[in-house]
Each structure stands twice: as structure tokens, then as C-alpha cells.
Amino acid sequence: MRGGMLIISGPSGSGKSSLMSEMLNSMDDIYFSISTTTREKRDGESEGKDYNYISKEEFESDIAEGLFLEWAKVHDNYYGTSLKPILKALNDGKLVLFDIDVQGHKIAREKFGDAITSVFITTPNQKELRERLLKRGTDSAEVIEKRINNAVSEMTRIREYDYVLINDDFEKTLENLTSIAISSRCRVHSINTEEFISSWVS
């Protein structure tokens, strides 16, 4: 068996981070894909939790070798999704969990195709999303409006995903998301079919 890839996207405020956190605590053999950066580690941050920290030289070398799913340079520091820990986790038979936006989902689809299972998580409606963002109390009115506008744009891309979950009941949504994660491990793309058939017939 090889590992699998599960992409989760959705508007800020949809509850996807809380759902993923619960699922990571309850399931074994999951690797949560985190970003790699060349910036210095800040106080309170830790390697392998907040970011994977590498040198600028190593980052640029990996770019040249095509070892990033996606990357960007911001304020003279590189940030990106390195394929090295992802491929290691897949070879170890783990399910790789991604929290990426619709554009990142498109890039990953182009690279990995049907080997990916994807889920779009959203609220029942725009009003509910706005209420959750206001209740969270972490953003200004201007930022909330920007998040709402981004959500409207993201909603037009849900047909690109395998599943859509409407998070109006946290426990039910968590149960459905966990079921999708488990079933993604059983897809034909997760199996070395030639090796399996060879061992089956012998």
C-alpha cells in the first residue's frame, strides 16, 4: 500500500481548521503538510509544527530540481510546499492532509491528478459565514469583508472538488470528513496494483 492525499479547502470561518485538528487527533498514519520557509524561526515557533525551516541555498536548489508543489518569494524570504516530506510520507503509507486554497488545489490536481481526494468545506450560507467571522472577533470589518468576497469567489470553484461538506453540525461534518479520509485510503490509486495482482495470483 502507498499513502494517499486529501486536500481540504474552504472559506476562512467555515470551521475546516477545527475539523482537521479533531481528525488528526483521532486518526493514525496522517501527515499534515506544512509550509517550508527560509525565514528565521520566531520565538514560540517550532520546527515541523509551524514551518519546515531550511536555508535559502537549499530552497533554491529544490526549486531547480522541481521539488516544490508551489512556492513564492515574500520580503526576500521563500515560502512553499515542499514535495520531499510529502513523498516520504506517501512512501511510508501515510495519508497526507493539505489545507490549501482553490488555486493550490488546482496546482496539486495538475501534478497528481486522480491520486488526490479533495473536499470543500463551507457554511450553509453567506450570512452564517459572516456571523462566524464576527463572533471570532479577530478581524476588522474591512478584513471580514475581504474574507467574504474571497469566499464568494471560492464558492464558484466547488465543482472542481470530489466532495462538498456543509458544516452546519460540527460532529456530523467531522464524521463525514473522517469517512472520506478513510475511504480515500482504499482508492485504486493508493494501491500498487501490479504488485498486488502479482502476489494475488501467485
Q: What is the pLDDT of residue 196?
A: 66
Q: pTM to 2 decimals? A: 0.82
Answer for the pair 9, 161: CB distance below 8 angstroms, yes or no.
Answer: yes
The one-letter amino acid at 5: M
**77 φ, ψ to 5°?**
-120, 145
Q: What is the pLDDT of residue 72?
A: 86
CA distance 33 to 59: 17
Which stretches of the chain are assigned E, i.e. beta strand?
4-9, 30-32, 36-37, 52-53, 68-74, 77-82, 95-99, 116-122, 163-166
Q: What is the mean pLDDT of the chain?
A: 89
pLDDT under 70: residue ranges of the chain: 1, 188-197, 199, 202
- pLDDT tens by residue, 9-45: 999 899 998 999 999 999 988 999 998 999 998 888 8
Q: Tell me the domains of the chain and their CATH numbers.
A: 1-29+95-202 (3.40.50.300), 34-92 (3.30.63.10)
Q: What is the pLDDT of residue 93?
A: 87
